[in-house]
Amino acid sequence: MANNKTVCLICNEEKITYSCRGCSKEFCFMDLTGHRQILTIELHHINNAYNEFKQTINEQKQNPRNHSLINQINQWEIESIEKVQQKAQEYREIVIKSSQTCIDDIEMKFKELNEQIKQMQKQNEFNEIDLDYLRNQLKEITEELNNPSKISIKEDSQSFMNEISIISSKKSKFNKWKQNATIVVGGNGQGHKLNQLYYPVGIFIDQKKHIFIADYFNHRIVEWKCNAKEGQIIAGGNGQGNRMNQLNSPTNMIVDQQNHSIIIADRGNRRVIQWMNQTQQILIHNIDCFGLAMDKQGYLYVSNENKHEVRRWKMGQYNNEGIVVAGGNGEGNQLNQFDYPSFIFVDEDQSIYVTDTGNHRVVKWRKDAKEGKIVAGGNGQGENFNQLSCPHGLIVDNLGRIYVIDFWNHRIMRWCEGKEEGEMIVGGNGEGNRSNQLNSPHSLSFDDEGSLYVGDFRNHRIEKFEIIL
């Protein structure tokens, strides 16, 4: 008989074993049962933790006033009221004491005036001048009584009470940016040097404000650290070609810095390739890839511009054709069609936003939808605020606002879903290379502070527009 036995992980004996798909370990039949029991117990623990979490969140929903921040605000209110009451009582005592002193002074003046009147009446010696004097004296002490000049209230802008404010992680709904940008990458003309770019397409900004660029005609991915004078090549850069260490006109990338991994849309080679620690692996073959996106569940989305569709693959399972999640009904302008889809964005609900370049619109496909919904443009090619002209890069923020590159209009637009027109946030000053101009921009990204970065395609540079609101 052929020897098909292997060593069991648990009993360490050579037996007929079975592989666990989850951990890829080998177990004999008896130990495989025990292994499954352990997994069942772990699932039970997870289920208990889930139920505890569900109970906690239900309690918080039913009793929102029990939130720790609410308790902190209540305590601040109590302490602030006590301070106000103490200070108010202190000021009352000061006012009462000062007022009494003022009244005593006025009463003294009144007594003196009264004595003068009595003396005049007794002597019966007075004239018009004396009467005017008495009138003026009486008027002065009356005004002094009604408007005491020795005491008043002065408002101080420096509050004696500690103020609090609520800090929210959500940005203002009406963010604005400076209209004059600063060049943070390139700007040294078209070229191959490390301080130059040659038609940048996709860009990505990490938490350290390092900028990753798909340097299209330099056939490389470069990283510019914050405030650097030049970049460093992290993928490609070995000339145009289809070898494993080469790229051909890359358009987009997904950067995973924890794993030192970059997934690249290698458009010219019709493949999606992964670079991990300078080791390359082709993930998807024979695909006219342009845009890439990855959701939080680990699914990879790729736009296929020539098949007018977006496909999805589960991470690690690229040995199939994937599934069509948007388009796939040929070239056209119907709601279930695309005309050269380019950039894509996937939100937390797995809704897919696609820049439908040839149709001059952005389309949103909800998960498992059979057709999309126009959320920007869709009114023909043009420069009006309800139109787009060959849109490219896009980002959707946590409030559902859509930021999209308006390629031929050389501007960045913001659209709120359901609105008939968008608003221009930067650019729109004609084609050019001044600080307030763009030249056929391709992509955009935001840093953690909300500043806007734009891949200025024909100016061979990345520009930063600082947030001001």
DSSP SS3 for 370: coil
Instruction: Kindly report the average pLDDT of the chain as a whole number.
Output: 88
User: Are both 268 and 290 inside the same structural domain?
Assistant: yes
Summarize pLDDT for 375-412 with one digit per residue, the tens. 999 999 999 999 999 999 999 998 889 999 999 999 99
Contact by Cβ (8 Å): 462, 209 = no
Q: Quick one: which of 175, 215, 209, 180 has its CA closest to 195?
A: 215
In-domain check, residue 74: no
CB neighbours of residue 332 within 10 Å: 14
User: Are both 87 and 37 inside the same structural domain?
Assistant: no
Over range 321-325, report the average pLDDT: 94
Examine the pLDDT at 327 and tell me if it is beyond 90: yes
In-domain check, residue 280: yes
User: Are both 190 and 135 inside the same structural domain?
Assistant: no
Q: Identity (one letter) of the amino acid at 316?
A: G
Last residue of a domain, one of 124, 142, 166: 166
Would you list the DSSP string of 34-71? HHHHHHHHHHHHHHHHHHHHHHHHHHHHH-GGGSHHHH
Q: Quick one: which of 204, 203, 193, 275 has its CA closest to 229?
A: 193
In-domain check, residue 194: yes
Residue with tokens 């404000």: 209
- pLDDT given for residue 94 in this prediction: 77
User: Are both 314 and 220 inside the same structural domain?
Assistant: yes
Q: Identity (one letter) of the amino acid at 308?
A: H
Summarize pLDDT for 341-379 with one digit per residue, the tens. 999 999 999 999 999 999 999 999 999 999 999 999 999
In-domain check, residue 171: no
Structure tokens at 87: 């200070």
The CATH number of residue 189's host domain is 2.120.10.30
DSSP SS3 for 20: coil
Those residues with Cβ within 8 angstroms of residue 211's Cβ, 6 or more apart along the chain or in another chain = 184, 185, 203, 204, 205, 223, 224, 453, 462
Structure tokens at 204: 């990505």
Over range 305-322, report the average pLDDT: 92
User: Are both 161 and 184 inside the same structural domain?
Assistant: no
User: Are both 245 and 144 inside the same structural domain?
Assistant: no
Per-residue burial over 55-66, b if 16 or more Cβ lie within 10 Å, else e, is: eeeeeeeeeeee
Those residues with Cβ within 8 angstroms of residue 239's Cβ, 6 or more apart along the chain or in another chain = 219, 246
User: Are both 210 and 337 inside the same structural domain?
Assistant: yes
In-domain check, residue 235: yes
Summarize pLDDT for 145-157 with one digit per residue, the tens. 777 655 666 665 5
User: Are both 198 and 55 inside the same structural domain?
Assistant: no
Q: How far apart are CA 137 and CA 124, in angstroms?
A: 20
User: Are both 335 and 363 inside the same structural domain?
Assistant: yes
Q: What is the percent of the chain with per-residue pLDDT over 70, rounded to a whole number?
A: 93
User: Are both 136 and 217 inside the same structural domain?
Assistant: no
User: Are both 374 and 347 inside the same structural domain?
Assistant: yes
User: Are both 154 and 225 inside the same structural domain?
Assistant: no
Total domain count for the chain? Answer: 3
Exposed, middle or buried by CB within 10 Å (0-12, 13-18, 19+), for 278?
A: exposed
Highest mean pLDDT among 90-94, 212-216, 257-261, 315-319: 212-216
> Which domain covers residue 31, as residue numbers?
5-61
